[in-house]
């Protein structure tokens, strides 16, 4: 039986307005757009404290939200992380010391960092099964959300891959990121891009609409506006994707109810012998690099 949650209305996380326009209803949740700043978010949404609990148990093995079987696609995920690391490298220079991966799951990106010479790497993760795996690998991990964590050290690199759209305490999280980032450090994040061509093409059937946990949907402009009060600024943004193979893409099309497209896709795969091929596919997301705004 699907899990049920208590819902609550919240003001816009970017500007604080309580005036918004309804756009879609998806899985019983309203997707709205702020009338003051154009930020798109879920409202009402799962209450904040319940939302934290959603991530603690079976988030990575779940058919209602989260991932159906996160570790089944570990090979593709590692390929993706290696690609994302290559995008980050030009912005971090030669300094490879302290890094923090927020929402680190099984620690695959932390492994990539360590293979590339980072000396002091930590993670933040809420799911109990993943925390156990991380500790078995001797990866330092905090089990406290970034909004609430007390950290005295500063980091040269902070990563949030498919995380910022989940954060209920956005303002507190951004201030915390500012406070724990070294003066010349960088924050790298991946998040769904509401201004993407993919979102415009699919409309309300965009697969990034996951209103249980994707509670906010950024564009480069709305993200920049959210960052500004916290002394942070975007120095780079570009389209992002992830590595996929035919089996992965076919299963995703089925899961998000694109059955006709899945059938056509599988036919093309079989016709051209693409079953064992993997490639970097657009996901309607953006790759963003953030630094301190020294003019703030």
pLDDT tens for 60-89 read: 888 888 887 777 778 889 999 999 999 999
DSSP letter string, 154-189: -EEEEEEET-GGG-SSHHHHHHHHHHHEEEEEEEEE
- Rounded average pLDDT over 203-218: 95
- Rounded average pLDDT over 166-195: 97
pLDDT at 1: 42
How many degrees, rounded to 5, is the angle at CA 79 between CA 263 and CA 116? Answer: 170
**The two three-digit tokens of residue 84, written as one number:** 């994302």
Structural domains of the chain, ranges and CATH numbers in brackets: 73-292 (3.40.50.150)
Find the radius of gyration of the CA atoms of the chain: 19
- Global pTM? 0.89
pLDDT at 17: 98
pLDDT at 282: 87
pLDDT tens for 3-37 read: 788 999 999 999 999 999 999 999 999 999 999 99
Residue 135 contacts residue 78 (beta carbons within 8 Å): no
Please check the confidence at residue 118 and state whether its pLDDT lies above 50. yes
Outline where the chain has alpha helix (H): 48-54, 74-92, 108-115, 128-136, 170-180, 197-202, 220-227, 246-255, 259-272
Please check the confidence at residue 108 and state whether its pLDDT lies above 50. yes
């Amino acid at each position: 039986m699907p899990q049920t949650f208590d819902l609550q209305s919240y003001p816009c996380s970017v500007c604080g307005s309580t005036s918004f326009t309804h756009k879609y209803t998806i899985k019983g949740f309203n997707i709205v757009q702020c009338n003051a700043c154009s930020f798109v978010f879920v409202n009402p949404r799962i209450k904040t404290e319940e939302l934290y609990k959603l991530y603690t148990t079976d988030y990575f093995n779940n058919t209602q939200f989260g991932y159906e079987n996160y570790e089944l696609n570990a090979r593709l995920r590692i390929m993706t992380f290696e690609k994302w690391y290559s995008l980050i490298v030009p912005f971090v220079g030669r300094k490879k010391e302290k890094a923090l991966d927020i929402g680190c799951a099984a620690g695959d990106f932390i492994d990539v960092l360590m293979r590339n010479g980072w000396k002091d790497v930590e993670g933040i993760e809420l799911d109990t099964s993943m925390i156990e795996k991380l500790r078995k690998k001797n990866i330092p991990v905090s089990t406290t959300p970034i909004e609430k964590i007390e950290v005295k050290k500063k980091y040269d690199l902070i990563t949030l891959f498919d995380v910022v759209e989940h954060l209920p305490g956005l303002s507190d999280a951004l201030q915390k990121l500012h406070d724990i980032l070294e003066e010349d450090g960088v924050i790298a994040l991946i998040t769904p891009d509401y201004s993407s061509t993919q979102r415009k093409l699919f409309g309300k059937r965009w697969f990034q609409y996951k209103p249980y946990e994707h509670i906010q949907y950024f564009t480069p402009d709305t993200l920049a506006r959210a960052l500004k009060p916290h002394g942070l600024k975007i120095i780079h943004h570009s389209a992002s994707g992830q590595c996929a193979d035919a089996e992965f893409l076919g299963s995703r099309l089925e899961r998000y109810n694109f059955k006709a497209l899945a059938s056509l896709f599988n036919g093309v795969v079989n016709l051209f012998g693409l079953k064992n091929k993997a490639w970097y596919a657009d996901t309607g997301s953006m790759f963003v690099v953030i630094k301190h705004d020294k003019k703030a």
